[in-house]
Structure 1
Amino acid sequence: MLAESKQVILTGDKTQCADIRIIPTGIIEVDIPSEERHYEADFAQLCFYTRTQKTELVCRSEQKNDVVQWKLEIANDDARELLSMIERAEDEFEQLMRSL
């Protein structure tokens, strides 16, 4: 069970990169080195909102009335790849739990 990593370009006001790790135990980690920011969330907290040219990856609090904890604007292709990575991680974790 290995974490997968991907670097994406954020599509906000200023061009920045984010390093994203998908951990099969159900965790996503996001590092934005230029701002020295680190975010972490469970897969269940994530929502993808796709618009014409970009997708907003939103992390909502599970305990605070669905309050947005953080969000990233990324390219649609990057969002599709992240979603695919999350699905693979969930499948891999499920297979591991069944084999135990």
Structure 2
Amino acid sequence: MLAESRHVLLSGKKSQFADIKIIPTGMIEVDIPDEAKHYQADFDQLCFYTHNKNTELVCRSGQKDDTVHWALDLANDDARELLSMIERAEDEFEMLMRSL
């Protein structure tokens, strides 16, 4: 069970990148080195909203107030790859739990 990482260009911000790590235990970690920001969330806090050529990845509180903790603008291809990575991580974790 290994974490997967991707280095993606953030949409709308010239040459600003994010390093995204998908951890199979159900966590995502995001580092934006240019801004010295670090975010993390559980998979169930994430929502993807597609707008034309971009997709917004939003981390919500998941509670009744549904507060947005952070958001990233990604290219649609990067968002699809990220969603695929999350799905693989969930499948991998589920298989591991079944084998225990």
Q: Same fold (TM over 0.5)?
A: yes
TM-score scaled to structure 1, two decimals? Answer: 0.96
Structure 1 residue runs of 4+, over 3 Å off?
none
Judging changes above 3 Å, is the alpha-carbon distance between structure 1 residues 13 and 7 closer, same or farther for their aligned structure 2 residues?
Answer: closer
The 1-side partners of 2:29 and 2:63 are apart by: 19
1:19 aligns with 2:22: no
Q: Percent identity?
A: 74
**Aligned match of 1:44:** 44
Q: Larger deviation: 79-88 or 13-22?
A: 13-22
Deviation at 1:65, TM superposition (A): 1.1
Deviation at 1:62, TM superposition (A): 2.3
RMSD: 1.0
Structure 2 counterpart SS, 1:25: coil
Unaligned 5+ segments in structure 1 are none
Unaligned 5+ segments in structure 2 are none
After superposition, the C-alpha distances for 1:13-70 in whole angstroms (9 at most, x for unaligned) are 4430000000000000000000000000000000000111100000001236110000
**Aligned match of 1:65:** 65
TM-score scaled to structure 2, two decimals? Answer: 0.96
The 2-side partners of 1:98 and 1:73 are apart by: 35
